[in-house]
Amino acid sequence: MPAFYNDSIFWIEVDKIKPNPFQPRKEFNEAALQDLADSIRQYGVLQPLVVTRKEIQKADGGLASEYELIAGERRLRASKIAGLAQVPVLIREGQETDMMKLELAIIENLQREDLNPIDRARAFDRLANEFGFKHAQIGEKIGKSREYVSNSLRLLTLPQEMQDALSAGGISEGHTRPVLMLADRPEEQKVLFQEIMQKKLTVREAESIARRIAYDRVRKHEYMFDPEMIEIEQALTEKLGTRVQIERREVGGKLVIDFFSNDDLRGILAMLKEKREALAQQPAAPSEGAVDDSSKEEKEKPMPTTEEDLYSVKNFSV
């Protein structure tokens, strides 16, 4: 158990408390901070902050106390917004090591489930790389499995724009599983990420697409897929604006067109209808070798039906 100075709560000026340099949180939701500030104005700070204290020598030879935050940064920030001059704190005894400060900050945030997935992964990365903790050791400290820690760290391999979207809540942590499946295919990975963002795909839909892409890769590699079919697939994908897959069989095959809403289907149908109408309006081409030197009026003349009509002067022209 941590040892506190006399187990007493002290009131310290907010301006004297320095932030924790090992705070794992990088993103602080402004609306949530404002809500907390409103609550603090009404009820005060219900849970003390945790700080360390050290004496520093001033220029005039006197001593001054300096405080460094270990846990409670959201409460400190909200207290400043609320206009509080002082906040209640517990003072840790002794000189805390950097590792202890980082560990305490991480654990406090994790216990409150207050870290976004990227901040959590960065905190784990610091524990692993700066302090030499194994994934299993990190898991023990926070009550999670080694796999949980390892999977969290994999998030840091995502491109920066995807990490930013995850931090901001644009995609969920579940969405990162199918995206990470395409780590060795950055173009396909980016397309899938954009579809998740723009079309609001569910995790299951995203996983289905990622598995299909992985299957296509094996299929095209193992069966020497017809290059012409690959070209047609790409052309259809670009034309229809959605993923298209051709499945060849011994005789014929199947065309699979992805869609995610009724609007997608209506758009594809409208595009096909427009193309059909455009083709219908084009004049029919004459058959090869045919010579047509008659006028339109002559083409529309009815054929004679009797012998008298056949030899009538009206059926001859000069």
- The CATH code of the domain that includes 6 is 3.90.1530.30
**Is 132 inside a domain boundary?**
no
Backbone phi, then psi, for 143, in 5-degree steps?
Answer: 75, 30
**Is 179 inside a domain boundary?**
yes
Helix (H) or strand (E) holding 90: strand 86-92
**Is 256 inside a domain boundary?**
yes
* pLDDT < 70: residue spans in the chain: 1-7, 24, 26, 93-97, 108-114, 215-226, 249-250, 260-261, 284-318
Q: Is 205 found in the same domain as 229? A: no
Q: How many CA atoms lie within 13 Å of 27's alpha carbon, on the beta-carbon side?
A: 17
Backbone phi, then psi, for 301, in 5-degree steps?
Answer: -65, 140
Q: Is 240 found in the same domain as 200? A: no
pLDDT for the residue 311? 43
Can you tell me the distance from the alpha carbon of 293 to that of 38, in angstroms, rounded to the nearest whole number? 90
Residue closest to 144 by CA, chosen among 167, 171, 110, 99: 110
pLDDT for the residue 158? 95
pLDDT for the residue 220? 55
Q: Which two tokens stand for residue 270?
A: 């409208």
Q: Is 233 found in the same domain as 194? A: no
pLDDT for the residue 1? 41
Number of domains within the chain:
3
pLDDT for the residue 203? 92
Domain endpoint, select from 196, 215, 234: 215
Domain endpoint, select from 50, 70, 94: 94
Q: Is 89 found in the same domain as 1? A: yes
Summarised one tens digit per residue, pLDDT across range 213-225 is 776 665 555 444 5
**Is 59 inside a domain boundary?**
yes
Can you tell me the distance from the alpha carbon of 165 to that of 197, in angstroms, rounded to the nearest whole number? 9
The one-letter amino acid at 220: K
pLDDT for the residue 243? 74
Summarised one tens digit per residue, pLDDT across range 147-195 is 999 999 999 999 999 999 999 889 999 999 999 988 888 888 998 999 9
Q: Which two tokens stand for residue 256?
A: 């699979």
Known catalytic residue at 73 = yes
Q: What share of the chain is helix, strand, coil (3-state, %, to 5)?
A: 55, 15, 30
Catalytic position from the list 73, 108, 195, 233: 73
Q: Is 90 found in the same domain as 11? A: yes
Domain endpoint, select from 72, 94, 116: 94
Can you tell me the distance from the alpha carbon of 178 to that of 192, in angstroms, rounded to the nearest whole number? 9
**Is 28 inside a domain boundary?**
yes
The one-letter amino acid at 203: V
Q: Is 1 found in the same domain as 88? A: yes
Q: Which two tokens stand for residue 70?
A: 């270990």
pLDDT for the residue 255? 81
Q: How far is CA 28 from CA 24, 94, 130, in A?
A: 11, 30, 24
Q: Which two tokens stand for residue 308?
A: 């008298």
Q: Is 239 found in the same domain as 179? A: no
Helix and strand counts by DSSP (H, E) for the chain: 14, 7
Helix (H) or strand (E) holding 195: helix 186-199
Answer left, alpha or beta for residue 58, where phi above 0 means left and psi between -120 and 50 means alpha.
beta
**Is 102 inside a domain boundary?**
no
Q: Is 168 found in the same domain as 239? A: no
Q: Is 81 found in the same domain as 2? A: yes
Containing domain of residue 58, as a range?
A: 1-94
Residue closest to 87 by CA, chosen among 36, 148, 131, 138: 36
pTM, full prediction: 0.55
pLDDT for the residue 179? 94
Residue owning tokens 């700066």: 130
Q: Is 238 found in the same domain as 202? A: no
Q: Is 272 found in the same domain as 191? A: no
**Is 260 inside a domain boundary?**
yes
